[in-house]
Amino acid sequence: MSLSHGRNHPLVQIAKWYEKLFGRLSDYNLCVTDAMKEDLWMNCNIKAVTLYDRPASYFKETPLDLRHHLYMKLAQDYEPFRARAEPVDPSAERSAFTERDGRDGRVVEPRGRPALLISSTSWTEDEDFSVLLKALEDYERFVDEGAKLPALVCVITGKGPLKDYYNGLIQKLHFKHIQICTPWLEAEDYPLLLGSADLGVCLHKSSSGLDLPMKVVDMFGCCLPVCAIYFECLHELVKHNENGLIFRDSSELAEQLKMLFSEFPALEGKLHSFRQNLRAAQELRWDESWDQTVLPLLGHRE
């Protein structure tokens, strides 16, 4: 509210007063980070319990057969998902990332496939996508200078007021090794695409510095490693060098992309390690987290 109306607007002041008053009068308060919990206590004298956002159950890794179906569906409208060459077997079905055998129906990922990088946004001033575009320019330069890196397909999903502006910037880029598309996905396709990607990128900065990006929560539900831009409490979600990487500017992001994709798609290196760590963590889902954190409070109250 203060971002849109200003910190001293009467509505903002009334909202602050309302929240402080009723926060102190409540039996229990829930917040989404330990940083917010501390802030509420220090500045408002409000006690709260941290209940982290968790992914819904449908955010999970996408099986290879379902990935192929999704890629072929998206290829009808978006060129980066289309095969670069026709399959040797005319009965086979090929996308940019997968190929289905025409005889036994088995799906494989062909050698030399591009890496799939995904980011999601509401295309607002909260996220500066020029950071990602500059990092991709550096990545393109690395390849031109001889670095052994895969071609990239960068998918930026969502819609919002700045989408046309950034699409204009994207159209001015002339990459040889990178393709960018900005689709608006059907609701059921978004988790499938997250579960099919190789790396997620998050450019969201919390306006308060006290909450966490839900898009990263969903990516982690899909066991998708993430590069995320730094803000104060991000470490409560993204564990640097454990389930992803934290960067501060475009050059640092570019170096991270170079490092993560240097051995792609080999089953070793940081990218694979991060995914294995996410699988091993077996994070609680929303309903399980609620049962574990909130129900004991309600039971105690009774």
Q: What is the pLDDT of residue 102?
A: 80
Using alpha carbons, select from 90, 143, 88, 142 the residue that is nearest to residue 110.
88
Q: Which range (70-79, 84-93, 167-176, 180-189) has the least confidence? A: 84-93
- The torsion angles phi and psi of 155, rounded to 5 degrees, stand at -110, 125
Task: Please name each of the domains of the chain with its CATH number.
Answer: 1-54+284-299 (no CATH), 111-281 (3.40.50.2000)
Using alpha carbons, select from 208, 187, 175 the residue that is nearest to residue 56.
187
Is 75:96 a contact under the CB 8 Å cutoff? yes
Q: Give the pLDDT confidence of 109-139 residue by residue, as tens digits.
A: 998 999 999 999 888 877 889 999 999 999 9
Beta bridge partners of 240: 244
Long-range pairs for 284-288 at CB < 8 Å and ≥24 separation? Answer: 284/54, 285/54, 285/55, 285/56, 285/57, 285/221, 286/53, 286/54, 286/55, 286/56, 286/57, 287/57, 288/54
Q: What is the pLDDT of residue 242?
A: 96
**Where does the pLDDT of residue 290 fall: very low under 50, low under 70, confident under 90, or very high at 90 and above?**
confident
**Where does the pLDDT of residue 297 fall: very low under 50, low under 70, confident under 90, or very high at 90 and above?**
confident
89, pLDDT greater than 80: no
Compute the radius of gyration of the chain from its Cα atoms. 22
Q: Quote the tokens at residue 192.
A: 């499938």
Percent of the chain with pLDDT over 90: 66
**Sheet with strand 107-108: strands edge to edge:** 93-94, 99-100, 107-108
**Where does the pLDDT of residue 4 fall: very low under 50, low under 70, confident under 90, or very high at 90 and above?**
confident
300, pLDDT greater than 70: no
User: Can you give the pTM of this predicted structure?
Assistant: 0.89
Q: Give the pLDDT confidence of 209-260 residue by residue, as tens digits.
A: 788 999 999 999 999 999 999 998 999 999 999 999 999 999 999 999 999 9
CA pair distance 200, 144, nearest whole angstrom: 24
Q: Give the pLDDT confidence of 14-71 residue by residue, as tens digits.
A: 988 888 888 888 888 999 999 999 999 998 899 999 999 999 889 999 999 999 999 9
**Where does the pLDDT of residue 302 fall: very low under 50, low under 70, confident under 90, or very high at 90 and above?**
very low
- Residue 204 is given by DSSP the state B
